[in-house]
Amino acid sequence: MSLDSPFARKLSTFVTLSGNDLTVLSDLHRRRRRFLSGRDMMSQGEANQAAYILASGWVCYYVLLRNGAKQIVEIQVPGDFLGLRSVLFRTSDQSITTITEVEASEVLARDLLDAFSSTPRLATAVLWAASRDQAMMAEHLVGMGRRDAAQRLAHFILELAARLILVGQGSKSRFACPLTQYQLADVLGISAVHVNRVLRELRVAGMMTFRDGHVTFEDFDRLVVYADFDIAYLDHGGPLLR
């Protein structure tokens, strides 16, 4: 396996993967699965022992409240590892649904643990990825609590850009973003109507445009300042290999 896989590409940015690592990694991609857009891959409360490596397409973790409100907890893009917690717990504590059509490799708990024991470096890498996910969640929490809608939106879009650039699916000028404004609203914890207004603000301000399934940055650097975006939480200098 080469770096064609977004997952391998992501891991290799912070851990040097040997030929053997790549082979083991390749084995994990054996059970290829396809999902249509808008389908649940995993449901809250359901026993599910499989995890996935996302090869193409986007998915999200979400929670439905009793009052009907929905909150998207995390967006996952190609190269991300899904459902690590559902391997650890008896049941998944969140639902995962596809945002686009998706290709993913199903990873059985047993295979994952075997892979870990045969290449500890891979285990470290996956653990690193999981910790990075947690760091992103913490950053979202901060945004929800202390940033207004516009800053929050800008920050989220910049984070997406950074993640996609890492897996070779975006640049500082443009990336494909299949999210609807409703989904954006559920990520940011605001109403879809307000998302629309905020997008207009940012567009009028000449910083970014969200249209036709694409985000275009008219002024990336100014947006970074506006959103107070600091890449550090996504880009530590690699984990300690201990």
Partner DNA sequence: CGTCGGGTTGATAACTTTCAAATTTCGTGG
Partner DNA sequence: CCACGAAATTTGAAAGTTATCAACCCGACG
The footprint of its own copies (CB under 8 A) covers 45, 49, 61, 63, 65-67, 69-71, 73, 85, 87-91, 93-94, 109-110, 113, 127-128, 131, 134-135, 137-138, 140-142, 144-147, 186, 188-189, 228, 232-233, 236-240, 242
Q: Is 231 exposed, middle or buried (0-12, 13-18, 19+ CB in 10 A)?
A: exposed
Which listed option, DNA, its own copies, none, makes contact with residue 172 (CB within 5 to 8 Å by class)?
A: none
> Half-sphere exposure of 115 toward its Cβ, with a 13 Å CA cutoff?
22
Q: Which amino acid is at 127?
A: L
Tell me if 212 contacts DNA by CB under 7 A.
yes
β-partners of residue 176 are 214
Helix (H, G, I), strand (E, B) or coil at 209: strand
Smallest CA-to-CA distance from 150 within 78, 219, 226 is with 226
Which listed option, its own copies, DNA, none, makes contact with residue 94 (CB within 5 to 8 Å by class)?
A: its own copies
CB 100 within 8 A of CB 58: yes
Contacts (CB under 7 A) with DNA, residues 162-181:
180-181
Q: How far is the CB of 206 from DNA (least distance, A)?
A: 16
Looking only at the bridges linking them, the beta strands covering 59-64 and 50-56 are: unpaired
Contact window for DNA (CB under 7 A) among 1-9, 80-88, 108-116, 189-197: 189-197
* Chain contacts with DNA (rule: CB under 7 A): 148-150, 180-182, 189-194, 196-197, 199-200, 211-213
